Amino acid sequence: MRIDPINDLGAPLAVTAVDLITETAAPQWNEWAAYGLAAGGYLAAWQGFGGDFMKNVGIASFPWAAKKIYDRVRAMGGTSRLALRRVSRQTVARYPAQPYAEEFAGVRLD
């Protein structure tokens, strides 16, 4: 099996170039570029568009996207005890009042 320079070397170089360019020129788009390249590469290969090049773009950008997901989850911090409470124990307050009148609320028995 031989190495195809365009498909096997070009795709990782393209992903690296996009990473370096977005990291320096537009850092706010670096994370979204990682997600876009990984998802776009895999979806294009799954649909049969782009051949081995797009498949290799998805494969080469997956570690970059996984690192960004890991960093995003780690930045959220630990979960508090409040977040771990069961939903069934939480009460929902109605604001400002009940939306309907209680049945037989104004009835008097004499």
Please report, for the chain, the start and end positions of each structural domain, with discontinuous segments joined by +.
7-74
Q: Is the pTM of this model over 0.75?
A: no
b or e along 16-25 (b: 16 or more beta carbons within 10 Å of the residue's beta carbon)? eebbeebeee
Q: Which two structure tokens, joined as six digits, stand for 16?
A: 């690296």
Residues 6+ apart with CB under 8 A from 26: none
CA–CA dist 12, 5 (Å, integer): 11
Find where tokens 């537009």 sit: 26
Residue 89, pLDDT score: 55
| pLDDT digits (tens), the chain, 110 positions | 788 888 899 999 999 999 999 999 999 999 999 999 999 999 999 999 988 999 999 999 999 999 999 999 988 876 555 555 555 555 666 566 666 667 777 788 87
Q: Which two structure tokens, joined as six digits, stand for 76?
A: 């959220």
* 3-class DSSP assignment, residue 83: coil
CA–CA dist 35, 42 (Å, integer): 11
